Amino acid sequence: MNSSLRHIGEEVVRCVNCGNHSFKISLYLYEAPLVGNVLIESGTCSKCNYRKSDVSALDSGRFKTIKVFIKSPEDLNALIVKSSTAEIVIPELGVEVYPGPASYGYITTVEGLLERVLDIVPTGCEERKECIDKCNLIKDAMNGLVKFTLIIKDPSGRSTVIGENIVIAKYEEIE
């Protein structure tokens, strides 16, 4: 599969952090067959070093709720385009990731997303059985031992999931 990352432009806008007209956004288009086009925005302020990046799936059809059934180890390699406004819920694993003002968008795999969830485990987790069990369940899921449903709710409709054999249910509305 050939994919390419193409720099398509840049602009300087006002920085939301320091207010100076010094926030430079670089725009890239990630083009991949089967995948569709993804716009990647990467911004840095030259005055205060504030950074923000975001992604938008251009061919997502602007679906606001996406449900993906992860049922095989191969499905863990499916690509997730998670925009900064997306909320992620995995009921079977007790995972809920909510967007905040500091949220940024990124592209990752399903496995990579679970890895990120494990990275933000609260301190003191190792002293609570419930928390340890949850982490172990997520690790089992990363090893393909647990089937689960990945739900992405994105009011902006810029998120998507891309994979060869995965089944995706798309909804126009936020449920």
What is the binding site for Zn ion (CB under 5 A)? 15, 17-18, 45, 47-48, 50
Nearer to Zn ion, 37 or 42 (CB): 42
Spatial distance between the Cα atoms of 49 and 8, rounded to a whole number of angstroms: 22
Nearer to Zn ion, 22 or 156 (CB): 22
Q: How far is the CB of 156 from Zn ion (least distance, A)?
A: 24
Q: How far is the CB of 100 from Zn ion (least distance, A)?
A: 19
Query: 33 near 1, Cβ under 8 Å?
Result: yes
Nearer to Zn ion, 18 or 167 (CB): 18
Q: Across 19-147, where does the E strand assignment appear?
A: 23-32, 36-45, 51-57, 65-70, 79-82, 87-90, 95-97, 106-109
Angle at 170 between CA 169 and CA 173, to 5 degrees: 135
Q: How far is the CB of 49 from Zn ion (least distance, A)?
A: 7
Q: How far is the CB of 138 from Zn ion (least distance, A)?
A: 36
Nearer to Zn ion, 45 or 152 (CB): 45
Look at the block and give the residue holding tokens 């899921």.
Answer: 141
